[in-house]
Structure 1
Amino acid sequence: MGSPGLHKAAEKMREAGIDETAVEVFAHYYRLLEHGETGMIAEDTIEPLDMPSLADVEVDEAAAAEALQKTAVIKLNGGLGTSMGMDRAKSLLCVRRGLSFLDIIARQVLHLRERYSAPLPLILMNSFRTSSDTLTALARYEDLPVEGLPLEFLQNKEPKLREKDLTPVEFPTDPTLEWCPPGHGDIYTALLGTGLLDQLLDAGYRYAFVSNSDNLGAVPTPEVAGWFATSGAPFAIEAVRRTPSDRKGGHFARRKNDGRIILRESAQTRDEDKDALADLDRHKYTSTNNLWFDLAAMKQALTEREGILGLPLIRNVKTVDPSDPGTEKVVQIETAMGAAIEVFDGAQTIEVGRDRFIPVKTTNDLLVLRSDIYAIGPDFTLDQVAADVPFIDLDGDHYKLVGDFDRRFPEGAPSLKEAAALRVRGDWTFGRDVKVLGEVTLEEAPSAQRLEPGTVLGG
């Protein structure tokens, strides 16, 4: 198994009952890390990527309906929302009207099943931290499980490694913090190791649609399913035009030496290439993390590569307790699921509208989602009713954590559909029916402030 550090880490995984395929995948990336691999992608090795738009594609209705019949929906649901102060699945956050992300996802799928008479199984990739709460929350939807298929499968876990010597870290105060997920690139290892990939194929499904549970715009519509099916591609990713808010995020490019489409994450970008990363005219498209892949093609690739797709390594340095910067520094070995696009010949990308990319990573995003920017229709999809989505910047000292955020919006979000930007400095509590017009900045005051019900800001 190689070095003493790798041996200790692998034994720790086996003792925890981790699937042997996952142990071998971890060992592959450990060896890369040990030999100095950083996963960095230099700017001079890539070139910008252009792509077609879904708006310009004509999809036959019959082909679209047939594609949906053969599609399984997988939602990544392992995140705890720790950056927002949560200790349970982020998808349990209330969006509006008492409905959580999970409630809306379940109802989106149930509606599509009824409308198109498609089985459309919904399967969640949970972590060991999110499984119990998630299944409890979904128990109310008795018709959600599809016979012969599970409602969830678990992503793997791996040891956090001491930065100084790459041995598994020990943290007796909270031993669960000795473990981390291997990034969402683990989905392929988990699908294979749990046997779910074979189950789906045996049940007659051909396509998988994968997306994040915090992106309510990621709906498996017949239009996109039909496009993917008729494209003949083994793998595809939905992309959107990058905006100023995406300057620090990942982007698509084409690798010069073999012409393959790649996805470069910000963590894979050298400091000297940060300006190129931020250039929205050069690198125009970012990933929605909405993926489509042919199940048989995925099985073949995993079998040929003995369970190791060979996704680019992401070396992520953190502290063993993410909430305490004074704790020991550790390395987390991660991969990104979108990086699998470079594995498959004929893989494609397609530009979609921003209505398919509504992620919630911060309370800024949560405020927009809870506001009147979006309406939830009878099909439980989000309809953007405002001309534009405003820029939101809430003071991190008072709004970063969900508990603090909720206390400052006790009567709900303000009206934002006529807003261009809302910047809040300091501690402001919003009363009922506050309306924001145009660009508004609330400056910090010597003490906490309250906006009275019906207040109109700006204009």
Structure 2
Amino acid sequence: GDVYAALYASGMLQALLNDGIRYAFICNADNLGAGLDETLLGYFAEKVFPIMMEVAEKTPADIKGGHLARHKNGRLILRESAQCPEKDLAAFQDIRRYRFFNTNNIWVDLEFLRDFIKEHRIIDLPMIVNPKTLDPRDGKSPPVYQIETAMGSAISLVEGAAAVNVARARFLPVKTCNDLLAVRSDCFVYSEREGLKVNPARTAAGRSEKIKIRLDPAYYGTFDRMEQRFPQGEPSLVGCDELTVQGDVRFGKNVVIHGAVTIARNGSTPAFIPPGTLMNRDMCLD
């Protein structure tokens, strides 16, 4: 949320304007679906919006995330789950009532931003309190609170701010090793022209664009641990609907997983899946 103040205080905002740059597109670094879209840029400029937020329609998998709503003053407002009282959580998660979530892809008119900060001196975004652990890699480390602001919250402070409904393909965050395994596998393909997108072979077969992956956090919860368990590359997941891995399982080269598969290892030592194995049913590796 401090991106606006940082742009202004660092001099970068004025430097961009001096170079003739009027509009900025800001997104999360971990959103691999985000990119500069000329059609959206043209729409933003034509409508002369001060700020525009990209939103996408919620699915049942998105109930825990924040959403876009309309304040009683008529302005749009971003509501995060960390800001919701527990007693109101059921209503907060009703995707029929709150249909859209913030992708955190934000378009900003830099001339407006400069003038707004000059006039108000500060962009007073609401604080968000998130409970965390001191060491994110160790769930048993001391509990702490992370205090933050969301850059999308500026939409509620600005008269004329807007939201635009975009394809879900523009929201492809990689926040966990589950997400990382999916995008590194053949579920996705990459090209310079189109960026990262779902493998057409997957959609042609009638499979959901979103694969469900649940890796045991004790063994796959961090990047280095996950790397150790796929030393010869990720398995083929283009034909996989769901993958659940329980316990310490290591994968050989060119493993293929098809359908909905659960792999469980009950022993205390690692299990190894040989190269070229086709897995299309649940397996318990004792």
Q: Which amino acid aligns with 1:191?
A: L
Give the C-alpha shift of residue 393 in structure 1.
Answer: 0.6
Indicate the residue corresponding to 2:277 in structure 1. Answer: 455
Indicate the residue corresponding to 1:246 in structure 2. Answer: 62
Indicate the residue corresponding to 1:213 in structure 2. Answer: 29
Which structure shows the higher strand fraction?
Answer: 2
Q: Among residues 88, 94, 108, which one is paired with 1:273 in the alignment?
A: 88
Root mean square deviation, CA, Å: 1.9
Of 440-449 and 423-432, more deviation after overlay is shown by 440-449
Deviations 1:396-426 (A, max 9, x none): 1110011110011111111111111111111
Q: Which amino acid aligns with 1:456?
A: L
Q: Does 1:360 align with 2:174?
A: yes
Q: Which amino acid aligns with 1:201?
A: L
Distance 2:98 2:251 in 1: 39
Deviations 1:110-162 (A, max 9, x none): xxxxxxxxxxxxxxxxxxxxxxxxxxxxxxxxxxxxxxxxxxxxxxxxxxxxx
> Is the Cα contact below 8 Å between 2:187 and 2:237 reproduced in 1?
yes
Distance 1:455 1:333 in 2: 47
Any gaps of 5 or more consecutive residues in structure 2?
204-208, 282-286
Describe how 1:267-306 pairs up with structure 2 within 5 A: 267-306=82-121
Q: Among residues 189, 193, 197, which one is paired with 1:375 in the alignment?
A: 189
Distance 1:362 1:368 in 2: 10
Distance 2:6 2:92 in 1: 31
Structure 1 length normalisation: TM-score? 0.57
Distance 1:358 1:327, change over 3 A: closer
Describe how 1:421-432 pairs up with structure 2 within 5 A: 421-432=242-253
Q: Which amino acid aligns with 2:243?
A: L
Among all aligned residue pairs of Structure 1 and Structure 2, give the percentage whose two residues are the same amino acid.
43
Describe how 1:52-67 pairs up with structure 2 within 5 A: none
Indicate the residue corresponding to 1:228 in structure 2. Answer: 44
Distance 1:340 1:438, change over 3 A: same
> Is the Cα contact below 8 Å between 2:236 and 2:254 reproduced in 1?
yes
Q: What is the SS of the residue equivalent to 1:411?
A: coil
Distance 1:450 1:327 in 2: 31
Q: Which amino acid aligns with 1:301?
A: F
Describe how 1:85-124 pairs up with structure 2 within 5 A: none
Any gaps of 5 or more consecutive residues in structure 1?
1-184
Distance 2:141 2:245 in 1: 32
> Is the Cα contact below 8 Å between 2:32 and 2:173 reproduced in 1?
yes
Distance 1:367 1:324, change over 3 A: closer
Q: What is the SS of the residue equivalent to 1:238?
A: strand
Indicate the residue corresponding to 2:213 in structure 1. Answer: 392
Q: Which amino acid aligns with 1:206?
A: R
Q: What is the SS of the residue equivalent to 1:443?
A: strand
Indicate the residue corresponding to 2:284 in structure 1. Answer: none
Q: What is the SS of the residue equivalent to 1:312?
A: coil
Structure 2 length normalisation: TM-score? 0.89
Q: Does 1:335 align with 2:160?
A: no
Aligned length: 273
Give the C-alpha shift of residue 231 in structure 1.
Answer: 2.1
Give the C-alpha shift of residue 244 in structure 1.
Answer: 3.1
> Is the Cα contact below 8 Å between 2:253 and 2:276 reproduced in 1?
yes
Indicate the residue corresponding to 1:410 in structure 2. Answer: 231
Q: Does 1:198 align with 2:14?
A: yes
Distance 1:368 1:192, change over 3 A: same
Give the C-alpha shift of residue 316 in structure 1.
Answer: 3.4
Distance 1:320 1:435 in 2: 38
Which structure shows the higher helix fraction?
Answer: 1
Distance 1:302 1:369 in 2: 39
Distance 1:192 1:220 in 2: 22
Q: Which amino acid aligns with 1:230?
A: E
Q: What is the SS of the residue equivalent to 2:258?
A: strand
Describe how 1:13-162 pairs up with structure 2 within 5 A: none
Give the C-alpha shift of residue 222 in structure 1.
Answer: 1.0
> Is the Cα contact below 8 Å between 2:137 and 2:222 reproduced in 1?
no
Q: What is the SS of the residue equivalent to 2:77?
A: strand
Q: What is the SS of the residue equivalent to 1:212?
A: coil
Distance 1:328 1:373, change over 3 A: closer
Q: Which amino acid aligns with 2:255?
A: V
Distance 1:253 1:212 in 2: 21
